[in-house]
Amino acid sequence: MQGPLDDVVVLDLSRALAGPHAAQMLGDLGAHVIKVEHPDGDESRGWGPPFVGPEGDISTYFLAANRNKQSITVDLKTDEGRVLVERLVRRSDVLIENFRTGVLARLGFGDDRLRELNPRLILLSITGFGHDGPEGGRPGYDQIAQGEAGLMSLTGTPGEPYRVGASIADLLAGIHGAYGVLAALHERGRTGRGTVVRTSLLASVVGVHSYHGTSWTVGGRLPVANGNHHASIAPYGAFHCADGMLQIAAANDGQWRKVAQLLDIEPNIPKYATNRERFAHRDELISDMEKALAAHDRAHWLSALAALGVPAGAIRTIDEVYGWDQVRSQGLLVEVDHPALGPITLPGPPLRFDGHPARDHTPPPALGQDNATVLTWLEAQETGAGGSPT
């Protein structure tokens, strides 16, 4: 057993990031993922910089979303390609696609046809703005969705919206899609039938508005960007000290009193006694704290706050994160042997299962490298010989 989904076959017809990320998550859990690519390859193979490898043509973007997969090349616009995909659909448990609404049906794989080919198939369909509704079928990329779904209005400073640095709409859609697939697999165990799971970049961002959403829908208060400080809690954010910045999160009055004592601020004066009052006087509070924090460097304050049990931390660069022993201890880096690059390190999966050893991971595949292997497996399945795709 390489994971809890070791008996699941996933047919990944998606490209770019949202769908491939969902498929990679399922692959991390042990599923056998067959990535179906146009002969020209997933478009993200051409996204960079940086590019690496002997020929300087391997996209690190592609490497981020395609570990634990096999790659086969298929032209879905040809009869031969469609027949091959039909054969694969019959032997798969999950199909993932992120075409624009209607494209898969025009290629001959509408919902009814897929159900006819394999009644147990679970289809994960990821779109930009949803498959129906007044703007259903509208094309969507991550930054467009971040803006349209309100996320950029909450990021940055008032009057200056910013995109989240990661492609968070794509990644959230992949995460939501993967957990939808897991629920559908569970349901199939009871009913014996597959289903269609739908999500979108729009739905995935709106789905994590959380307290920003209820601020408006219940409280009637329009959330705005708060820079590096929390929209509801104070003090909770990034503060300047003698040699840079650190973050302090005092989420309750007890933690606040510890911070105040450390910084020689009176915690119980009316303007600072409760979170409601501290938030109302947040600018003044930040100023008072930064005057005190200016006396020492970040290392001093982080040590002192840790001794008090107050949540605090540095603001790390990506290289510092991957050099951090804590990150490595959590299995968040995996080593794979890439056929062109040799041993490389990839960001690892965010889940661990007690009692199960860390699984072996395979590198993101070269374009079409598994054509023969997958065809051999498919023929064995069709003749009743069984076996896995790998």
- For residue 369, the number of C-alpha atoms closer than 13 Å in the C-beta half-sphere is 12
Q: Which residue has tokens 């910084």?
A: 263
d(CA 163, CA 181): 28
Instruction: Exactly one of 28, 142, 170, 288 is catalytic; name it.
Output: 170
Q: Cα-flanking dihedrals φ and ψ of residue 98, to 5°? A: -135, 40
Opening angle at CA 365, ends 96 and 87, nearest 5: 45
- The percent of the chain in helix, strand and coil, each rounded to the nearest 5, is 40, 15, 45
Opening angle at CA 111, ends 107 and 112, nearest 5: 100
Q: Which residues contact 32 (CB under 8 A, 6 or more apart)?
A: 6, 8, 9, 10, 70, 388, 389, 390
Max Cα separation, the chain?
79
325 annotated active-site: no
Q: Which residues are known to be catalytic?
A: 170
